[in-house]
Structure 1
Amino acid sequence: MTLYRATLGGTRYVFDDLRQTMAAATPLRSGDELAGIAAGSEAERVGAQAVLAELPLKTFLTEALVPYESDAVTRAIIDDHDAAAFAPVAHMTVGQFRDWLLSDAATAPVLARLAPGLTPEMVAAVSKLMRNRDLIAVARKVRVEVAFRNRLGLPGRIGSRLQPNHPSDDLKGIAAGILDGLCYGIGDAVIGINPATDSVANAAGLITMLDDLRQRYAIPTQSCVLTHVTNSIEIMNRGAPLDLVFQSVAGTEAANDGFGVSLPVLEEAHQAALSLGRGTVGDNCMYFETGQGSALSADAHHGVDQQTLEARAYAVCRRYRPLLVNTVVGFIGPEYLYDGKQIIRAGLEDHFCGKMLGLPMGVDVCYTNHAEADQNDMDLLMTLLADAGATFLIAVPGSDDVMLNYQSLSFHDIAYLRNSFGLRAAPEFEAWLEGMGLVDEGGHLIDGTAGAQRLLGGAVA
């Protein structure tokens, strides 16, 4: 057995294995405390970080945190690894890798070429040595461009998911939420509904309604009903107009089993969606959601810390060239991310790790009402993510999801980010907004009365 040791200030810290070292090095969060794997003190946490800093990156290619023989996600990580892409940093320790990422040598093109050579454990490890500002500084250098009916991830742009959920899937209520969001310039990443009733018939009806609405107004965006992947396969078989296949995924095979999904099923769905050819400017047609704590909540964490397992979920996502990936960062609850400070840190970690692995990374900036967090915490996180170059964020009417019973961002919040940072919507979507009289030539919201009347008139017609 390999022991990992460090001596700091005369105190010696010893960790039994790499898994324990990674857990102890993780910034404090309630989920790791719940699992009994968190550092016992801040001093022990620093000791574990000192061990990580001296660890060669290539260690993660030979010492698996979750066994290769018993876990499909581990096998995918190792089998998909691009040794040639990894070569430029193969000689580095985790600490040297951190310093290099923060240097001018780590440019956007260099980081794009590096992504296939990185494993999720590598990027999780280096994130544990970073302050929040470091996570922002590196993530903003990474560019991941994807496309379906519009292009996302372009410089100077931030996308948004319009989330018009309704507690009874009432079509008129959903349509009202969509029209409200469009008037605020929301929905270029996707118009995506979490169905209250997850049946094939209900999801197909919602998909058809979304497509009818999109075609009526000639909106250059994509729609998605966030139903189970097997439902999406059946919906495609029935000929419904499905744009994006959705699935929640996690970082271990056992946790994905809990979601009722496997890598072969995801591949089947991906190929089926590609065969439809519904994209007009690109063919990225998968949408994944993740969240720290999902594996622990399923008792499928194998003693690995929740942040590392979250990064492993991104290895699942990148196999299928997704249009969208987002962490629902505060949704699972305070048992896993206790307060605003932990949610903010986790959101920045997740965004950094996803982009480092080559994903078009977004975040649902959110919290549950029993967490020690409030909307001011979400203001901080969304502002930091805009600075970090997030691909997209999620917005719901009034920031209050009345179906899922949690707090997210509002349509006004996305408008604030675009105005304050000079960010714009996807170019094709922005051109449509301008044509509808909702934004000016600079992409800024204007008096949308005429555009709103045009939308509402079309809805009534």
Structure 2
Amino acid sequence: MKLKTTLGSEVYSFTELKEVFAKANEEKSGDRLAGIAAKTVQERIAAKMVLSDITLADIRSNPFLTADEDEVSAVIEGDVNETIYRNMKNWSIAELREYILSNETGDRELKRISKGLNSEMIAAVTKLMSNLDLVHAANKMEVLTTCNITIGHKGTLSSRLQPNHPTDNVDGMIASLKDGLSYGIGDALIGINPVDDSVESVKRLLHATHDFMNDWNIPTQNCVLAHVTTQMKAIQQGAPADMIFQSIAGTEAANRSFGISAELIAEANELAKKQGTGSGPQHMYFETGQGSELSAEAHYGIDQVTLESRNYGFARHYDPYIVNTVVGFIGPEYLYNSKQVIRAGLEDHFMGKLHGIPMGVDICYTNHIKADQNDIEDLGVLLTAAGVNFIIATPMGDDCMLNYQSMSYHDVATLNQTFGKTPAPVFLEWLEKMGIYENGRLGRNAGNAALFS
């Protein structure tokens, strides 16, 4: 395995594969904070050149965290299809990139080869792709999942309706819910981030959303994004939850800082299947975001793109209904400005899709990051072109509880109309019955929340 190259008259040598991975990344403030980023553009190019000649076998033979020392690694490695891997283990990362981007390589073939790739291999090829490469490659892949309804069809753009309230007030939450539905939002999920993580609060919100869905015959799913253990207790006490949510990370140590383990997630998945109200077969919802392992001091000197890819390898094991990266939420320490946020959103979406999981994005930023609403609208356009499964939407793009900026209800409706896309088929049928959509476009009742009075 050759870890050096020459650019002009200068020789660039790297001490280990982990260093090559880190320095081949597009610039990220999180990698700089960790002290592992390329110091110059030239060093970044040199690292990409070295990485392009590395083989899949090289990567698998030189793990950054072994399966013996990290359960996330164990989960990822245990899911690799050995037959598929052996047939392509001598491919270089450059060859893998060319194969993915080839006109002859379509959805079915990408799904097949993905089973022979581990998360580090997927991260590696991501580092060699331009933004347009990431859009084009991701758009080839269609990932369908079903909880109460099926989402992910080509030609659709689904959304999570996020009717958060700063005091978990049910009336306030329902008002926001009605507003979102009137724009055709919510086919992927009606999902609330609670202020109060108690079992009683979670039960109250689950009952309120479930009752509203039943009253109006809305074909979607509900979830309250409390800690997994709180949701499990609520379900055991009879709360109507269609799925179970949890934030995850790319290392065992970072997951333990979240209060979770592989065993706990497996237990939650089984509980959701047996006692949850979702039809299935998919019942889990995971959220991720570049930089979480560094913020937990559990990154082991591994770059944040590779760690993010490991999130998706871990998630894949549990056959989730939806996964999304909350890109831009953690802050400028990890993604400094709009350029880095846009790049991360495209990377995360592609890596998730190549893992074969139903990938969405919370296109967002905090108010101390160097970005604005125009920047995230740009990312919304790029991700819609890339075939993102779903986008998260909040009232007027302003989450009054989490205090961050996201896409609004009307932003998602605009993306659908601009690209000629629609919500998921079953949800679209309901929207047509309600007059919110007519002939596949927003109709006479669009934006009229009073419809649900």
Q: How many residues align?
A: 453
Structure 2 runs not aligned, ≥5 long: none
Alignment-mate amino acid for residue 175 of structure 1: I
Secondary structure of the residue aligned to 1:70 is: coil
SS at match of 1:321: coil
* TM-score, normalization by structure 2: 0.98
> In structure 2, what is the Cα distance between the partners aligned to 1:202 and 1:60?
46
Q: Could you tell me how far 1:91 is from its partner in structure 2?
A: 2.7
Given that residues 29 and 334 in structure 2 are in contact (C-alpha distance below 8 angstroms), is that contact kept between their aligned partners in structure 1? yes
5+ residue gaps, structure 1: 457-461
Distance in 1 of aligned mates of 2:284 and 2:267? 12
Which residues in structure 2 correspond to 1:241-390 (within 5 Å)? Answer: 241-276=240-275, 278-280=277-279, 282-390=280-388
Q: 1:406 aligns with which of 404, 407, 417?
A: 404
- Aligned counterpart, 1:432: 430
- What CA deviation, in whole Å up to 9, does each residue of 1:12-64 have, x standing for no partner? 11111111110000000100000000001000000000010000012222111
CA distance in 1, matches of 2:108, 2:324: 23
- Give deviations 1:350-400, integer Å, cap 9, x for gaps: 000000000100000000000000011101100000000000000000000
1:202 is displaced (CA, Å) by 0.7
Quote the offset at 1:279 in angstroms: 3.3
Kindly state the Cα deviation for residue 449 of structure 1 after the two structures are TM-superposed.
Answer: 6.8
Partner of 1:169: 168
TM-score of the superposed pair, with normalisation by structure 1: 0.96
CA distance in 1, matches of 2:416, 2:86: 38
1:277 Cα offset (Å): 6.2
User: Cα offset for 1:143?
Assistant: 1.1
1:450 Cα shift?
10
Cα deviation digits, residues 199-231 of structure 1 (max 9, x gap): 111111111111111111110000010011111
Which of the numbers 419, 422, 425 marks the counterpart of 1:421?
419
2:451 counterpart (444, 450, 454): 454
- Root-mean-square deviation (CA), in Å? 1.3
1:144-155 paired onto structure 2 within 5 Å: 144-155=143-154
Distance across 1 between alignment mates of 2:93 and 2:341: 24
C-alpha contact 1:436 1:451 (8 A) present in aligned 2: no
Q: What one-letter code is carried by the residue in structure 1 that aligns with 2:445?
A: G
- AA matched with 1:288: F
Do the aligned residues in 1 keep the contact of 2:183 with 2:446 (CA within 8 Å)?
A: no
* C-alpha distance in 2 between matches for 1:17 and 1:48: 11
Where in structure 2 are the equivalents of 1:9-408 lying within 5 Å?
A: 9-276=8-275, 278-280=277-279, 282-408=280-406
AA at the equivalent of 1:74: S
Residue of structure 2 equivalent to 1:459: none
Q: Secondary structure at the match of 2:442?
A: coil
SS of alignment partner, residue 143 of structure 1: coil
Residue 87 of structure 1 deviates from its aligned partner by 4.0
Q: Distance in 2 between matches of 1:164 and 1:450?
A: 15
Whether contact under 8 Å (1:437, 1:451) holds in the other structure is: no
2:95 and 2:170 map into 1 onto residues whose CA distance is: 54
Amino acid of the residue matched to residue 168 of structure 2?
A: D
